[in-house]
Amino acid sequence: MTTAIRRLVLDVLKPHVPTILELAEALSKLGGITGVNLSLSEVDQQTETIKITIKGDKIDYLAVESVIEDFGGVIHSIDEVVAGKEIVEGVETAQDR
Amino acid sequence: MTTAIRRLVLDVLKPHVPTILELAEALSKLGGITGVNLSLSEVDQQTETIKITIKGDKIDYLAVESVIEDFGGVIHSIDEVVAGKEIVEGVETAQDR
Amino acid sequence: MTTAIRRLVLDVLKPHVPTILELAEALSKLGGITGVNLSLSEVDQQTETIKITIKGDKIDYLAVESVIEDFGGVIHSIDEVVAGKEIVEGVETAQDR
Amino acid sequence: MTTAIRRLVLDVLKPHVPTILELAEALSKLGGITGVNLSLSEVDQQTETIKITIKGDKIDYLAVESVIEDFGGVIHSIDEVVAGKEIVEGVETAQDR
Amino acid sequence: MTTAIRRLVLDVLKPHVPTILELAEALSKLGGITGVNLSLSEVDQQTETIKITIKGDKIDYLAVESVIEDFGGVIHSIDEVVAGKEIVEGVETAQDR
Amino acid sequence: MTTAIRRLVLDVLKPHVPTILELAEALSKLGGITGVNLSLSEVDQQTETIKITIKGDKIDYLAVESVIEDFGGVIHSIDEVVAGKEIVEGVETAQDR
Amino acid sequence: MTTAIRRLVLDVLKPHVPTILELAEALSKLGGITGVNLSLSEVDQQTETIKITIKGDKIDYLAVESVIEDFGGVIHSIDEVVAGKEIVEGVETAQDR
């Protein structure tokens, strides 16, 4: 297995339209992506904040970013990046508890 | 596996009648849907708020929306959309804790 | 697999007698039901509130309702309905946390 | 698989002697029972409250009750009954959270 | 599988010496025991309270008790007993939540 | 299986640029590493604190440290080290609860 | 399977240097140990408290103790000992909740 970006978690601000549904479909069609999960975090009058979890075998961040921008969205932060030959979960240590 | 909408979580306001039972049966008969879970969140005098989780291999949002509207319901929000070749769960990161 | 009601969660008020035991046995003998779980939520002087989880491959709600009524019980609410070809669990999203 | 009582959870008040150990051994020898779990909930000067979880393929409630009474115990309540062809777990719904 | 005591959880008060290590080794050598877990709950100047979980296919309580006493310990309470042909876990019901 | 460092959890302070993405890709290319998980803990005006979980069959700490320093980062602390022939999880005992 | 110490959880106070990394490597090389997990609990100016989970098929406590002492560390307490033919997890009972 080659090294690649295997999972991304993004915090994204977007307008209500186009909807979270259309954005999910567009992202899921990008190469190197096997699935996306878009979850609504906060809703304001004009905008909504969503958490996007993207899984794949070779995620292209710039392609993801450009789709989100095409949909009028802005990436607030990259909350998690998983890279390598396998997906590694973050480990909760005594420091986190 | 082709790319499609594989799971939806909707927040829906509906009248007490027709019941959550009838709505579940109607939704579960739609093409591309393998199962639905309707859970009662809140109950008011005239209406009830339910959370609808829909799983399938090719969910047609517009068909879902029209069944819900036929039953007098309104989709408050699309809380989660999962799309692609596989179901991806949302990941809890340090930001969420 | 055909589409059917595969799981129900009911909130039921019943008198102390007949007991939760007898009601469980009666419900479990209905066609299309593979198992039932009756759990005591609240106890009052004359009545008790129980949560009934019913699993099956073709649950007949009206048959369930009539057994409960035969036992002097009343269905307060249908808290969850799972229908379709498979059992789908409700998904906790950012909105629920 | 025939329909039967497959799991019971009982809240029981008993004297300190005979001990929880002896009661567990006696219950586990009853027909139709594959295992019992007796857990100490509360301890008072003369008595102790225990939670008894009983699993089996054909639990005979009256036989259970009579063993408990032989040991000087009283069944406060039947907290859960699972019946049918399979063991069904109680489902936590939006109402329980 | 014959009926036997398959798991015990004991609350034990013991002096600091001999250590929890030596007690664990001694208990684990008893017949009918496959493994023991000794966990330190509280530490006082002269004594320590430990929780002992014992698993086996035919646990002899009196043998366990006598080893503990040989090590200067006292069994405060038997917190859990699991008996029968299989290990049954205690079930959390609506009453416990 | 030989003995080696199999998992590391590091608390790292880094500038916003280069991004968490680039650091993840660089770390994941190091020998003896099978995957990395970088999770954003805190964000300040000039810097960000990230938790880095590294998994591998022979992690070279000095190589990891030098990549992090090349990216302008500083290792605040080594929060967890897992070494040996297999990955062992930290166990929560009565003392931790 | 013979009876042996299969898992230990130790609370250890050590100086910052040598590091948690070096101590992990040294412990993991001891006979009868298959893996170690060292997790940072507290950090003071001169010292740090770590939780050490050790897993193996025949752990030699005295060898472990002497390595820790060679690294300037002190074992505050043995928080958990697992011994026997298999690893047994501590069981949470009604008393612990």
Q: What is the total count of domains within chain C?
A: 1
The distance in angstroms from the start CA to the end CA of chain D is: 34
Return the partners of chain A (3 or more C-beta pairs < 8 Å).
Answer: B, C, F, G
pLDDT digits (tens, 9 = 90+) for F23-79: 999 999 999 999 999 999 999 999 999 999 999 999 999 999 999 999 999 999 999
Mutate to test the interface with A, among C91, C92, C95, C96 (most CBs of A within 10 A): C95
**Structure tokens belonging to residue E19:** 């250590």
pLDDT interval class at B95 (50, 70, 90): confident
**D-chain residues within 8 Å CB-CB of C79?**
93-95
pLDDT band at A1 (very low <50, low <70, confident <90, very high): low
pLDDT tier at E1 (50, 70, 90 boundaries)? low
Residue C1 has pLDDT above 70, yes or no: no
Please state, for a pLDDT cut of 90, what percent of chain A lies above it.
91
Residue type, A39: S
- Residue A90: which pLDDT band, with cuts at 50, 70 and 90? very high
The answer, yes or no, to whether G and E have at least 3 beta-carbon pairs within 8 Å is: yes
Pairing state between β E33-43 and E47-56: antiparallel
Averaged pLDDT for residues A29-42? 97
Average pLDDT of chain E to the nearest whole number: 95
Q: How confident is the model over G38-69, as pLDDT tens digits? A: 999 999 999 999 999 999 999 999 999 999 99
Looking at residue A10, its pLDDT comes to 98
Which chains are within 8 Å of G by 3+ CB pairs?
A, D, E, F
Are D83 and C25 in contact by the 8 Å Cβ rule? The answer is yes
d(Cα G4, Cα E29) in Å, to the nearest integer?
9
Q: Can you give the CATH number for the domain in which G46 is found? A: 3.30.70.1340
Helix (H, G, I), strand (E, B) or coil at E91: coil
Q: Are the beta carbons of C89 and B37 separated by less than 8 Å?
A: yes
CA-nearest residue to F95 within chain E is E41
Say what the pLDDT of residue D85 is. 97
Question: Would you say residue E80 lies in a domain?
Answer: yes
Q: Is the peptide bond before F15 cis (omega within 30 degrees of 0)?
A: no
pLDDT, tens digit, 9 for 90 and up, residues G3-40: 899 999 999 999 999 999 999 999 999 999 999 999 99
Q: Coil, strand or helix: which one is G67? A: helix
> Is E57 part of a structural domain of the chain?
yes
Stretch (H or E) spanning D43: strand D33-43
Residue D82 pLDDT grade (very low, low, confident, very high; cuts 50, 70, 90): very high
pLDDT of residue E96 exceeding 90, the answer is no
Strands annotated E in chain E: 4-15, 33-43, 47-56, 74-84
Name the average pLDDT for chain D. Answer: 95
Cβ separation E51–F94 shorter than 8 A: yes
Q: How far is F29 from chain A (nearest CA, A)?
A: 7
The percentage of chain C sitting over the pLDDT mark of 90, rounded to a whole number, equals 91
- Whether residue A66 is predicted with pLDDT greater than 90 in this model: the reply is yes
> Which chain B residue has its CA at the smallest distance from F43's CA?
B95
> In this predicted structure, what is the pLDDT of residue E68?
98
What residues have CB less than 8 Å from G63, skipping those under 6 apart?
A: G30, G31
User: Three-state DSSP class for C52?
Assistant: strand
Please tell me the distance in Å from D7's CA to the nearest CA on chain C. 9
When CB atoms are compared, the residue of F9, F29, F40 closest to A91 is: F9
D3 min Cα distance to partner chain G (Å): 31
Domain-located, residue A91: no
CB G12 within 8 A of CB G77: no
Contact yes or no for B90/A51 (Cβ under 8 A): yes
Domain range enclosing E45? 4-84
Which residue reads 């989709």 in tokens? B75
Question: What distance in Å separates the CA atoms of residue E6 and residue E28, rounded to the nearest whole number?
Answer: 14
The residue-averaged pLDDT of A52-77 equals 98
In 3D space, the residue among E33, E71, E86, E75 whose CA is nearest the CA of residue E55 turns out to be E33
Helix, strand or coil for residue G28? helix
| Residue F10 forms part of a structural domain | yes
- Taking phi first (over 0 means left), then psi (-120 to 50 degrees means alpha), and beta for anything else, what does residue E20 get? alpha
Q: Is F96 inside a domain boundary? A: no
In degrees, rounded to 5, the angle at the alpha carbon of residue A60 between the alpha carbons of residues A54 and A62 is 105
Counted across chains A and B, CB pairs separated by less than 8 A come out at 80
In degrees and rounded to multiples of 5, residue E24 shows phi and psi of: -60, -45
Question: CA quadruple B14, B16, B20, B26: dihedral positive or negative?
Answer: negative
What is the identity of the amino acid at F96? D
- pLDDT of E3: 83
Q: Which residues of F touch E (CB under 8 A)?
A: 93-95
> Which residue on chain B is closest to D96 by alpha carbon?
B41
- What pLDDT is recorded for position F3? 83
- Cα separation, B42 vs B12, in Å, equals 10
Q: Does some domain include residue A79?
A: yes
Answer whether residue C95 is part of any domain.
Answer: no
* The pair of three-digit structure tokens given for residue B87, joined into one six-digit string: 């179901």
The model's pLDDT over B39-62, given as tens digits with 9 standing for 90+, comes to: 999 999 999 999 999 999 999 999
For residue D96, is it within any domain?
no
The count of residues in chain B is 97
Query: Chains contacting B with at least 3 CB pairs below 8 Å?
Result: A, C, D, F
Q: What is the pLDDT of residues E22-47, one digit of tens each?
A: 999 999 999 999 999 999 999 999 99
Query: D45: exposed, middle or buried (C-beta count within 10 Å: 0-12, 13-18, 19+)?
Result: exposed
pLDDT, tens only, C32-75? 999 999 999 999 999 999 999 999 999 999 999 999 999 999 99
Res. D29: pLDDT tops 70: yes
Helix (H) or strand (E) holding G95: none
With beta carbons under 8 A apart, name residues in chain C contacting D90. 37, 39, 51, 53
Asked if D21 contacts E78 with a C-beta cutoff of 8 angstroms, the reply is: yes
Confidence of residue A94 (pLDDT cuts 50, 70, 90): confident
Please report which confidence band the pLDDT of residue C5 belongs to, taking 50, 70 and 90 as the band edges.
Answer: very high
**Has residue B97 got a pLDDT over 90?**
no
Residues 6+ apart with CB under 8 A from A49: A11, A12, A13, A40, A41, A42, A43, A76
From the CB of residue B13, how many other CB atoms can be counted at a distance below 10 Å?
17
Q: Could you give the CA distance from residue C5 to residue C59 in angstroms, rounded to a whole number?
A: 5
Instruction: Of E16-20, E63-67, F93-97, give the lowest mean pLDDT range.
Output: F93-97
Predicted local distance difference test score (pLDDT) of residue F1: 61
Contact residues on chain F for A83, CB-CB shorter than 8 A: 24-25, 27-28, 35-36, 38
H or E stretch at E71: none
pLDDT at B96: 78
Sign for the pseudo-dihedral over CA of C12, C18, C19, C20: negative
| pLDDT (average), residues C11-26 | 97
> Do residues B40 and B48 lie in contact, with contact meaning Cβ atoms separated by under 8 Å?
yes
Please report the pLDDT score of residue D47 as a whole number.
96
What residues of G are in the E interface, CB distance below 8 Å?
3, 5-6, 61, 77-91, 93-97
Residues of chain F contacting G37 with CB distance shorter than 8 Å: 80-82, 88-90
pLDDT at A5: 98
Burial A1-34 (b: 16+ CB within 10 A, else e): eebbbbbbbbbbbbeeeebbbebbbbbbebeebb
- Gap between the Cα atoms of G90 and G82, Å rounded: 9
How many angstroms away from the CA of E74 is the closest CA of chain G?
A: 18
Express as a percent the part of chain A with pLDDT over 70. 98
